[in-house]
Chain A
Amino acid sequence: MIADALFYLFSVAAVVSGLFVVTRKNPVSSVLFLVVTFFSLSGLFVLLDAHFIAAVQVIVYAGAIMVLFLFVVMLLNLGHFEGEQTDFRGALGRFAAATVSVTLLALVARAVLGLEELGGQGVVAESLAGAPDPVGAALEARGPVGAVAGPLFDEYLIPFELTSLLLLVAIVGAIVLARRREP
């Protein structure tokens, strides 16, 4: 019962802070609101039996990436030029963005809501017919971390190694690009 309430709370928080991320004039407040979104998301992960993911979310995302963003925003003092012209695109741009977003939302909703009300033709409906609660079983067997770590290191070993390579490339790239060139 308490879980349902928490779920709704986190969901609303995530959506509202998401909106504020986009609408805030000052980039710093946008970053902070994004952090709030990440926290509410990790809450949702917990409710969805993804405890390790929730933890990693908080540590990696909120902790590392958002700090990096904040660091960059603060360092380059990007917020001050708001006065020049509105950050939002022209009327045509806004209109286009709005229609696109609404259509996207409608399509996804159509797919998702296809579950019950419309007789379940939705994409999601069939997949539900699968195993009752695979995550629950894995949790008992290996605990929150083990449940995820297991498949990570046997089925997904190659992608795992590739990801590490990706990270290496990103680091080298970031250094090369951001290096201050002597004039």
Chain B
Amino acid sequence: MSVPPEYLPLSLVVSATLFTIGVGGVLLRRNAIIIFLCIELMLNAVNLTFVAFARQLGVDGQVFVFFVMAVAAAEAAVGLAIIISVFRHYEMVDVERFDLLKW
């Protein structure tokens, strides 16, 4: 049950759309959690591209997906920990309101 190689461009288009939606989400939303979700979405879009190319360029693509997943997991864990501690202190996670980094 597999799709012929001609579908590569289509899958790339899908992955690009997903990635763009992810970027749009990151830029648009103010809620830290949603931003995180969008980042996960972007990572998955990349996974899709890896897998799509793996069909032509060899299995290495798929190996990379694992690494991406590992990184995504680690990043999710640490990110959520930060969000929790931030939430506990500020009672909100609106990204716009944090400007301690101002020069």
Contact = CB atoms under 8 A, between A and B. Distances in A.
Contacts of A134: 55-59
Interface in B24-74: 24-25, 27-31, 33-34, 36-38, 40-41, 44, 47-48, 51-60, 62-63, 65-67, 69-74
Classify the secondary structure of B's interface with A: helix
Contacts, number: 260
Q: Which 6 A-B pairs have the closest CB atoms?
A: A170-B74, A97-B27, A177-B81, A22-B25, A108-B16, A178-B81
Contact of B73 (A21, A41, A46, A60): A60
B38 A15 contact: no
Given A3-B1, A46-B1, A76 B87 contact: yes
B82 to A, nearest CB: 6
A130 to B, nearest CB: 6
| Interface band, chain B | 35 or more
A138 to B, nearest CB: 5
11 contacts: A21-B21, A48-B55, A60-B73, A76-B83, A78-B33, A87-B31, A89-B27, A93-B28, A105-B20, A131-B56, A148-B66
Contacts of A98: 24
| Interface band, chain A | 35 or more
Contact of A88 (B23, B30, B55): B30
A65 B7 CA distance: 29
Interface string A10-32: 01001100110110000100110
Contacts of B9: 112-113, 115-116, 124
